[in-house]
Amino acid sequence: RVLEWTEQLSRQSFNGLHMVGGGIQNRLLCQWTANSIGKPVWAGPAEGSAIGNMAVQWMASGAFKDIWEARKVIRDSFPVTDYEPKDRPIWEEAYGRFIRLTASPKSQAGSEV
């Protein structure tokens, strides 16, 4: 649902989701995320916070000229695992149940929230 809200608010459609941090070590989490959003998930690197911190420090010291150079070095230095969505009908049905169960009484009556 949050991805839908982000797309609506930004007026952009995203091709997938890039996940970083320790949670990406859980392959089931990454696969279920891809299944639930119906889009690919690109997982990596696991130490996203530490790497981001280092990149900012390197930019401040002049080792990288800008964020684009830092991103290229990071992208070229760490593996990314791809997860493609699977079992879409099951996940779409579960998402429909989730939306119905979490709808406010106003939205169930047809009012805008």
Q: Please indicate, yes or no, whether residues 30 and 54 belong to a single structural domain of this protein.
A: no
Q: Please indicate, yes or no, whether residues 88 and 40 belong to a single structural domain of this protein.
A: yes
**What pLDDT digit, counting tens, does each position of 31-89 carry?**
999 999 999 999 999 999 999 999 999 999 999 999 999 999 999 999 999 999 999 99
Backbone Cα Rg of the chain:
18
Q: Whole-angstrom Cα distance, residue 40 to residue 97?
A: 22
Q: Please indicate, yes or no, whether residues 40 and 86 belong to a single structural domain of this protein.
A: yes
**What pLDDT digit, counting tens, does each position of 9-34 carry?**
999 999 999 999 999 999 999 999 99
Assign 74 to helix, strand or coil.
Answer: helix
Contacts of 1 (CB under 8 A, 6+ apart): 98, 99
Q: Please indicate, yes or no, whether residues 11 and 36 belong to a single structural domain of this protein.
A: yes
Nearest Cα neighbor of 55 from 10, 20, 6 is 20
Domain that holds residue 73: 45-78
Q: How far is CA 112 from the centre of its chain?
A: 27
Q: Please indicate, yes or no, whether residues 6 and 38 belong to a single structural domain of this protein.
A: yes
Q: Please indicate, yes or no, whether residues 2 and 37 belong to a single structural domain of this protein.
A: yes
Q: Please indicate, yes or no, whether residues 4 and 55 belong to a single structural domain of this protein.
A: no
| 112 within some domain | no
Q: Please indicate, yes or no, whether residues 38 and 50 belong to a single structural domain of this protein.
A: no
Q: Please indicate, yes or no, whether residues 39 and 74 belong to a single structural domain of this protein.
A: no
Q: Please indicate, yes or no, whether residues 52 and 74 belong to a single structural domain of this protein.
A: yes
Query: How many CB atoms lie under 10 A from the CB of residue 69?
Result: 14
Q: Whole-angstrom Cα distance, residue 16 to residue 39?
A: 5
Q: Please indicate, yes or no, whether residues 9 and 34 belong to a single structural domain of this protein.
A: yes
Range name among 49-58, 91-100, 101-110 with the lowest pLDDT average: 101-110
